[in-house]
Amino acid sequence: MKKGYFGDFGGQFIPELLMPPLIELEEAMKTILPSEEFQTRFTNMLKENVGRPSAITYCPNLSKDLGLDLWLKREDLNHSGAHKINNTLGQGLLAKMMGKEVLLAETGAGMHGVATTVAAAMLGMKAVIYMGATDVVRQAPNVGRMRLMGADIIAVESGTKTLKDAINAALRRWIADQETTHYCFGTAAGPHPFPTLVREFQQIISKEARAQFMERNGGDLPDVVVACVGGGSNAIGMFHHFIPDESVKIVGVEAAGTGEPGCYSSAPIDHGTEGVLHGMKTKLLQTPDGQIEPSHSVAPGLDYPGVGPEHAHLDAIGRVDYTVINDAQAINAFKVLSRREGIIPALESSHAVAYAIENREQLQGKSVLVCLSGRGDKDLGILDQIL
């Protein structure tokens, strides 16, 4: 296997100027990451600052409604409200031990920005957050949280003014400031070693969930494991320890956008073709001549025209089924879970919950374990506009 590849996908498609910090990061992954000092400090931070292990929750009301056993892995209960903090604390601590002073990040929904800012504040570092100008408006509560905790927020006015444009701007900043700065990439995508590094910090989700589910179910594994897929970090975290379990069906849910034929979506695995973006070879939403198309999802954190290379590989080998849920189905799931179980899910996570609701006929009598990747209070403004 070629270094930094998952089958045919991955690699390092980057300007020469970015090679030094990536090589430095790879070295740190070999030396600092496995060290007892790092592992001890990181484990303690996950326990004392994040609140891990996060619970798994059985949903009795919705299970009865749907005719299946619905379980949630509650990443929404983590400090800062999503799975993102597993990664930002890991990368932040690694950067601190590498001697860096600044954590640079891109953010779409704002959750990764918030989690990076939390990590920076905890570790005595500076946070610089790039965010598409559209998302600054859409996710105002998270912008307020980041500013309160001391982050510099830079609104990106280029392109579609969303996540991909924020990543472009953050990468340019990293080239200029690599001596003092670590780019805390937010999802399991980008150039090697980021997809591997982010998976390393997110695999705790499935490590816990698999053991928790078996403990609650007499040693049985779930029939189906589900997560939403944007860039794909909550999903790769949720899938990793279930991949060897052949009896477990694994489902990744992409965003279909509004859902009508020809609409803009955020479903590169289902609708896209192979190409290169943000330093990796993966599946992309692009025109026949390779221009990146605008993406759309009601969930800002899924609004991305690419996907992490390991997901493209898991699709290619047929281990994970990737499917789509549209905006209206996700909004319905958002409301249903809130009303039936008193849990308000992020619009991103609502796509995964919607899979169980929309496919209940095929899932009758089965146990379905969904990664609830984040909480939904950040999305109430979007819901108010739509409803």
Report pTM.
Answer: 0.96
> What would the pLDDT profile of 36-47 be if each residue is shown by its tens digit?
999 999 999 999
What was the pLDDT predicted at 312?
Answer: 98
Quote the CA–CA distance of 247 and 341 in Å, as a whole number. Answer: 28
Low-confidence ranges of the chain (pLDDT < 70): none
What was the pLDDT predicted at 387?
Answer: 75
Q: From start to end of 122-209, where are the E strands?
A: 126-132, 152-156, 181-183
Q: Is 83 designated active site?
A: yes
Q: Pick the catalytic residue: 59, 184, 228, 371? A: 59
Cα 153 to its chain centre, rounded Å, is 20
Q: What letter would DSSP give residue 254?
A: E
Quote the CA–CA distance of 221 and 88 in Å, as a whole number. Answer: 30
What domains are there in the chain, each with its CATH number?
5-46+84-193 (3.40.50.1100), 51-81+194-384 (3.40.50.1100)
What was the pLDDT predicted at 108?
Answer: 84
Pull the structure tokens for residue 347.
């619009």
Q: From start to end of 184-307, where are the E strands?
A: 224-228, 249-255, 273-277, 280-284
Q: Pick the catalytic residue: 79, 83, 182, 311? A: 83
> What would the pLDDT profile of 305-350 be if each residue is shown by its tens digit?
999 999 999 999 999 999 999 999 999 999 999 999 999 999 999 9
What is the helix (H) or strand (E) element at residue 164, kind and residue range?
helix 163-177
What was the pLDDT predicted at 261?
Answer: 87
Q: Is 228 designated active site?
A: no
